[in-house]
C-alpha cells in the first residue's frame, strides 16, 4: 500500500512538473511576438491621424466661416468656382441680415457667373435644377420660386451684388444652405447658413 501510494505521488509530481514545464514553455514565446506588435502600432497611428481632420469637418472644404459684422457679411466668389467661406452664422439678435457677394475673378458673367441663393438644404438640388431650366435671362433662379428664401443677382468678375432678408425666414425647420445657381456651380459653391 505504502509503495503504491509513493508511486502515485511520484507520478503525480512528474505530471505536475511536466505540466508546469509545458505551461512555462509558451510564456517566453509571447514576449517574443510582442515586439513585432508594438512595431506595427506606431505605423498605424500616423496613417489614421491625417484621416481625422477631414472627417471632423465634413463639407467645409477647409474654408472658414463668414465674418459677420453688424448683421451683414461679405463673401467672395472666384474664377475657380469657389466661395471663400463654408458657412454663414447669423446672430439671433439680428432682425434683418445682408449678404454681399463680391466676384473677385475676371471672367464674365456668361462664363463664370456667381450668385447667392438661400433655400432649405433639402430644397437646394431641386431649386438648382429648376433655376438652370429657367435660364440665363432669369439669372438661373426660377421666377417666384417659393422655395427660394432670398437670392442675389448673378454677377461676373469684378462685380458685387447683395441681398437682405428677414432672419426669421431661416429660423424655421432647417437646415438651410446657400449656393450658386449658375449651371454646374452648386456642387462646389455651397455652404450652410444658420442662426445662433
From 185, 186, 191, 195, residue interacting with Zn ion (rule: CB under 5 A): 185
- Give residues 99-158 in contact with Zn ion (rule: CB under 5 A): 114
Distance, CA of 138 to CA of 117 (rounded, Å): 13
102 vs 114, which CB is nearer to Zn ion?
A: 114
CA distance to 7, 24, 51, 163, per residue, from 54 (Å):
72, 48, 6, 32
From 182, 190, 191, 195, residue interacting with Zn ion (rule: CB under 5 A): 182
Which residues, including other chains, have CB under 8 Å from residue 152's CB and lie 6 or more apart? 99, 101, 115, 116, 117, 161, 162, 163
86 vs 167, which CB is nearer to Zn ion?
A: 86
**Interface mask (CB under 5 A) for Zn ion, residues 57-96, using x and -?**
----------------------------------------
Task: Name residue 74's beta-bridge partners.
Answer: 100
Instruction: Give least dist CB 163 to Zn ion, A.
Output: 15
Instruction: Give least dist CB 35 to Zn ion, A.
Output: 56
Helices (H), the chain: 2-24, 26-48, 52-56, 109-112, 124-134
Instruction: Give residue number: closest CB to Zn ion.
Output: 180
The contact set with Zn ion (CB under 5 A) reads: 114, 180, 182, 185
Amino acid at each position: 500500500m505504502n509503495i503504491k501510494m509513493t508511486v502515485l505521488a511520484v507520478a503525480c509530481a512528474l505530471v505536475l512538473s511536466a505540466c508546469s514545464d509545458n505551461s512555462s514553455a509558451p510564456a517566453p514565446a509571447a514576449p517574443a511576438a510582442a515586439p513585432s506588435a508594438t512595431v506595427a502600432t506606431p505605423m498605424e497611428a500616423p496613417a489614421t491621424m491625417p484621416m481625422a481632420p477631414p472627417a471632423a469637418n465634413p463639407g467645409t472644404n477647409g474654408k472658414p466661416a463668414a465674418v459677420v459684422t453688424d448683421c451683414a457679411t461679405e463673401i467672395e466668389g472666384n474664377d475657380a468656382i469657389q466661395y471663400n467661406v463654408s458657412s454663414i452664422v447669423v446672430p439671433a439678435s439680428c432682425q434683418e441680415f445682408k449678404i454681399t457677394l463680391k466676384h473677385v475673378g475676371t471672367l464674365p458673367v456668361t462664363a463664370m457667373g456667381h450668385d447667392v441663393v438661400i433655400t432649405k438644404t433639402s430644397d437646394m438640388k431641386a431649386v438648382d435644377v429648376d433655376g438652370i431650366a429657367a435660364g440665363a435671362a432669369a439669372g438661373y433662379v426660377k421666377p417666384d420660386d417659393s422655395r427660394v428664401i432670398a437670392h442675389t443677382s448673378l454677377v461676373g468678375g469684378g462685380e458685387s451684388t447683395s441681398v437682405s432678408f428677414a432672419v426669421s425666414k431661416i429660423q424655421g425647420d432647417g437646415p438651410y444652405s446657400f449656393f450658386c445657381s449658375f449651371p454646374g456651380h452648386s456642387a462646389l459653391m455651397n455652404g450652410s447658413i444658420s442662426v445662433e
